[in-house]
Structure 1
Amino acid sequence: MRFQKIFSSAAVVSAGSFISRLMGLLRDVIIASLLGAGPIADALIVAFRLPNLFRKLFAEGSLSSAVTATIAHVEAVEGEVRGLSLVRTCLLWTVGILSVFLLFAEYGSSVLVTMLAPGLTATPDVFAYANSLLKLTLPYILCIGLVALLSGVLHSRNNFTAPALAPLVLNCSLILGAGVAWIFVLPVAETLCISLVLGGTLQVVLQAAFLPKGMFVYGSWCIFDSDASLLGKRLIPTVLSGAVFQLSVLLVTVLASFQTEGTIAKLYFADRLVQFPLGLIGVAIGIAVLPALSSLAASNDVQKFGELLSSAVQFTLFLALPATAGLFVLAHPVLQLFFERGAFSPEDTAAAATMLQAFTVGLPAFAVSRPLLSAYYARQKSRVPLLAGVCSLAVTGGLGALLMQFWGGAGLAFAVACGGWVNCGVLYCLLNRQQFFSVQLRRWNLIYLLASVAVGTGCWLVVPYGVISLCSIPLFAAGYLVCLYIGKSPDARQLFALIVRR
């Protein structure tokens, strides 16, 4: 029964994420059409990289998850009044720290560009343009910090609607900005940067609207709070462990700046397509399962904790494996459909397709890592995720520097995938040692793998038809679900039950 509630919450997050990421794809289609995959696109993506990293770290990752776990634990042990006091303290520290960071970042923006893309120093015009764009986008960091904090508070109260819709607000703002730039012949990149900050402000307003009225007006305020201090101490390792994929992409962006012009842009567009299923599956389930895991950890119910985590991991694989098979095989027609128009040439599509396939190799690991990390957050453990993250980044950096010599951008993407498997493997093995996984659930994972191979084979047969082959995706997805439902898969039956209820 508990997992049915978790699954319903995950469905809410996935629904919001699905709509948002569709709009995100539309945004990227417009950007690719207007800017292509050349130096201007490289400069814009470098300028967006730091705000996007903070968005992934905070709103979809570490800060939001850490806040959710801490508030759920405090309220379970000490009551709601104590939890609200903690929230107000976290608000003070979030605004203060990010405001100071923003001032230093604006002053040293050229240093940040050098760190994000050192290879651009060889082209001073592109470097200067990226620097000017970064200055415009930096205020978004304060907005997303507030969004992450408020989302964590809402998640701890099992309210997933507003946080799920927040990315949609941002993407709509960016699409509107791109449309205004196109219609009124304004500079596209600069208009998008301004739209980013406006969208961030609207995200904050949306989260605040779903919180109890007067939550930050009435009640005690405290600058120094023991639980807030403990949260702050755990935040740095939590940030690093919860953002392995994002930090890996940032790392390969640095390496890609030494490749030919346009490599950064192609990696970005390939990454965006991988983020689509990752957000719908891994991130959604990880967010939805965290409050329940935190409550079970606070009550020290090890058995139910393990059962819930095992179910979450199995359901993640149930969805992630066929998505991996389909996206890997259909990488080229998918890129053709979404990006091959305007300034984005067929040659750009072919290069980006190899990068997308390389990224996709790590998709199951990226997805499964999300509920595994939620288990560590719920148990207030951060050392193991930090160790796993450091190992992953070391593998990504070492392999990326080596493989880009032979395979260019595809080698960098494959290095990210390998790092993802290292991260997932370390997290899983150390949890498995503590017997947090039920043995009887493992056979279904093998069945899902074999069924996904069948899905991939079917996709391979229709690839010669080009973009038209994408029409077969609903048929393969339906066949996968129906066959597993007939085979009495618990995850397929959970999914059908939710569809019927909705």
Structure 2
Amino acid sequence: MFKAIFTNSFGILFSRILGLIRDLLTASILGANVYSDIFFIAFKLPNLFRRIFAEGAFTQVFLPSFTRSTKKSLFSIHIFVIFLSIILFITLLVNLFPQLATKALAIGFDTKTIELAAPYVTINFYYLTFIFAVTFLSTLLQYKHHFATTAFATGFLNLSLIGALLLSKGSSDDVIVYYLSWGVVIGGALQLLVHLMAIWKIGLLKIVIGGFKYFNKKALLVKEETKVFRKQFFPAIWGNSTAQLSAFLDTWLASFLAAGSISYLYYSNRVFQLPLALFAIATSTAIFPRIARFLRNNDHTNALNYLQKAFWFLATILMLSTLGGFILSDEIVKLLFQRGAFSQTDAVHTSFVLKMYLIGLLPFGLNKLFSLWLYASQLQLKAAKIASYSLISNVILSLALISPMGAGGLALASTISGFLSFILTIKVFGTQQFLDIISSKKALYWLLSALLFTFFLLWFKDFIDGYI
């Protein structure tokens, strides 16, 4: 288990280091202004659909269904064709009505800003087709317990964007955003290429080719399996989309705030997402195939043992990350972003938003771990209900907190809804099962470590304050 987790984590760390370099360059070259807001908006829409259709609902429903399928080749390609058709149709709509799509993303933008942003939204949306194909292939690789390619592949997107920034450095802001937009598309194409190479090398290409070869002749053989998949997928779409809709809501509401607010949310969320991706997503991705197989075979004992090991590893790492990030948030933001076009005022606002996000790091991360149990148990409908309650609470809290707290209020609303989602997930998972996991001596060691680490960080903060 831990070998898979560390492979995932190392690959994600490599990609996130490149992402950090990308963000440093973006902050320095483009800053936090209307054009940086435009780029983040343009990249938001394909990312929204990517996380809903691809990385979220698709993977969590497809992998258990693929594991159970008796006609894996036909089933996988049948599902791939259906979803690719949907994505191409949405892409066509965005190309035909780019200003409408942009208006939906940032209703607070005025007419002139929407006209400026619309062409970039169109370009960025081409990324979605590439990344869906990447997600499909990565799920097949997960089935074979191969995680390295997907973990490292995101680095190609970041390398492409870094190249775009370096090539456009010194140009006007609109030219920089143009280069960045095409950098996104090129990055998606590179990710697809390395996944195709991995599929060929690991011997899975015959599944893909065989599925296409017999697609028309034998599609009826997987009709029932496809029907079951669709029945599970739509609740899963909703369950996975609420977190993305919350992020979409943050961007939408932030467009009504002062220029730069969308960028403050973006930069702080990038820091917040580092431990979340490095540990929570890496751990969940690594153990999901095995837990799905254990539950398919009604082996709940091994599934729970696997989950318990992952829980204590993840809880410890996320607790330390939360304490470290919250106490040192000012220093982290100054060190990472405060240079060039990114001012001290921008750093203060970004640091505050980061603190509001970090409060929810532990429940967000642990919720990813326990929610996979629901998906592996094919409890998509219950997961969707939990997500609905979380979204409703986020909407209400965002509207209540945006006026007194600005962008920080939006981040805090997301955090509180994350706590609610975690509590409801544990209730479905089984409160007693959860208490059995945490009722051990490890809990005492965990709390003692948190206390000692807090004292160390407070001392360290005083020590470095004079140097940053």
Q: TM-score range by the shorter chain?
A: over 0.9
Residue correspondences, number = 457
Counterpart code for 1:57: I
Secondary structure at 2:378's aligned position in 1?
Answer: coil
Determine if the alignment matches structure 1 residue 141 to structure 2 residue 128. Answer: yes
Counterpart code for 1:216: V
TM-score normalized by structure 2?
Answer: 0.92
Alpha-carbon deviation of 1:381? 1.2
Alpha-carbon deviation of 1:369? 1.2
Residue deviations 1:63-82 (CA, integer Å, cap 9, x gap): 223222222233xxx3xxx2
Distance 1:61 1:444 in 2: 32
Distance 1:272 1:392 in 2: 22
In the superposition, relative to structure 1, how do residues 109 and 230 fare at CA in structure 2: closer, same or farther (>3 Å)? farther
Alpha-carbon deviation of 1:232? 2.5
Residue deviations 1:55-95 (CA, integer Å, cap 9, x gap): 33355433223222222233xxx3xxx22221121221122
Residue deviations 1:302-324 (CA, integer Å, cap 9, x gap): 22222222222222102110001
Counterpart code for 1:393: L
1:492 aligned partner: none
Determine if the alignment matches structure 1 residue 15 to structure 2 residue 25. Answer: no
Tell me if the contact between 1:17 and 1:280 (Cα under 8 Å) persists in the aligned partners. yes
Counterpart code for 2:234: I
Distance 1:298 1:43 in 2: 46
Counterpart code for 2:130: C
In the superposition, relative to structure 1, how do residues 110 and 396 fare at CA in structure 2: closer, same or farther (>3 Å)? same
1:496 aligned partner: none
In the superposition, relative to structure 1, how do residues 223 and 307 fare at CA in structure 2: closer, same or farther (>3 Å)? same
Instruction: Give unmatched runs, 5+ long, in structure 1.
Output: 1-5, 471-502
In the superposition, relative to structure 1, how do residues 164 and 467 fare at CA in structure 2: closer, same or farther (>3 Å)? farther
1:473 aligned partner: none
Tell me if the contact between 2:124 and 2:185 (Cα under 8 Å) persists in the aligned partners. yes
Tell me if the contact between 1:69 and 1:290 (Cα under 8 Å) persists in the aligned partners. no
1:191 aligned partner: 179
One of 63, 80, 83 as aligned partner of 1:91? 80
Residue deviations 1:409-459 (CA, integer Å, cap 9, x gap): 111110010011111111012212473663465542453244223323322
Tell me if the contact between 2:74 and 2:219 (Cα under 8 Å) persists in the aligned partners. no
Counterpart code for 2:38: A
1:366 aligned partner: 364
Alpha-carbon deviation of 1:289? 0.9
Alpha-carbon deviation of 1:368? 0.5
In the superposition, relative to structure 1, how do residues 279 and 73 fare at CA in structure 2: closer, same or farther (>3 Å)? same
Alpha-carbon deviation of 1:19? 0.5
Distance 1:468 1:61 in 2: 44
Counterpart code for 2:390: S
Return 187-196 or 424-433, whichever deviates more: 424-433
Alpha-carbon deviation of 1:244? 4.2
Residue deviations 1:169-222 (CA, integer Å, cap 9, x gap): 111111111111117778110111001011111111111111133432235325
Determine if the alignment matches structure 1 residue 206 to structure 2 residue 194. Answer: yes
Determine if the alignment matches structure 1 residue 61 to structure 2 residue 56. Answer: yes
Tell me if the contact between 1:252 and 1:397 (Cα under 8 Å) persists in the aligned partners. no
Counterpart code for 2:344: P
After TM superposition, the structure 1 = structure 2 runs for residues 147-158 of structure 1, keeping only pairs within 5 Å, are: 147-158=134-145
Secondary structure at 2:342's aligned position in 1?
Answer: coil
Alpha-carbon deviation of 1:43? 0.9
Return 207-216 or 288-297, whichever deviates more: 207-216
One of 252, 257, 260 as aligned partner of 1:259? 257
After TM superposition, the structure 1 = structure 2 runs for residues 101-140 of structure 1, keeping only pairs within 5 Å, are: 101-120=90-109, 123-140=110-127
Determine if the alignment matches structure 1 residue 33 to structure 2 residue 28. Answer: yes
Distance 2:16 2:175 in 1: 25
Return 183-192 or 333-342, whichever deviates more: 183-192
Tell me if the contact between 2:238 and 2:387 (Cα under 8 Å) persists in the aligned partners. yes
TM-score normalized by structure 1?
Answer: 0.86
Tell me if the contact between 1:307 and 1:438 (Cα under 8 Å) persists in the aligned partners. no
2:324 aligned partner: 326
Residue deviations 1:90-124 (CA, integer Å, cap 9, x gap): 2211221111111112222222222221111xx32
Distance 2:434 2:457 in 1: 36
Determine if the alignment matches structure 1 residue 294 to structure 2 residue 292. Answer: yes
One of 349, 352, 355 as aligned partner of 1:354? 352
Tell me if the contact between 1:69 and 1:294 (Cα under 8 Å) persists in the aligned partners. yes
Counterpart code for 2:184: L
2:397 aligned partner: 399
Tell me if the contact between 2:242 and 2:391 (Cα under 8 Å) persists in the aligned partners. yes
2:226 aligned partner: 228
One of 317, 323, 337 as aligned partner of 2:335? 337
In the superposition, relative to structure 1, how do residues 461 and 72 fare at CA in structure 2: closer, same or farther (>3 Å)? same
Residue deviations 1:222-265 (CA, integer Å, cap 9, x gap): 55532233223322321332354433222111111111111011
Return 175-184 or 400-409, whichever deviates more: 175-184
After TM superposition, the structure 1 = structure 2 runs for residues 43-54 of structure 1, keeping only pairs within 5 Å, are: 43-54=38-49
In the superposition, relative to structure 1, how do residues 350 and 259 fare at CA in structure 2: closer, same or farther (>3 Å)? same
In the superposition, relative to structure 1, how do residues 445 and 126 fare at CA in structure 2: closer, same or farther (>3 Å)? farther
1:71 aligned partner: 66
After TM superposition, the structure 1 = structure 2 runs for residues 449-460 of structure 1, keeping only pairs within 5 Å, are: 449-460=447-458
1:489 aligned partner: none
Alpha-carbon deviation of 1:36? 1.0
One of 197, 204, 218 as aligned partner of 2:210? 218
Tell me if the contact between 1:118 and 1:254 (Cα under 8 Å) persists in the aligned partners. yes
After TM superposition, the structure 1 = structure 2 runs for residues 159-198 of structure 1, keeping only pairs within 5 Å, are: 159-182=146-169, 187-198=175-186
Counterpart code for 2:209: V
Show structure 1 runs of 4+ deviating over 6 A: 183-186, 467-470
Distance 1:193 1:206 in 2: 21
Tell me if the contact between 2:73 and 2:210 (Cα under 8 Å) persists in the aligned partners. no
Distance 2:163 2:264 in 1: 23
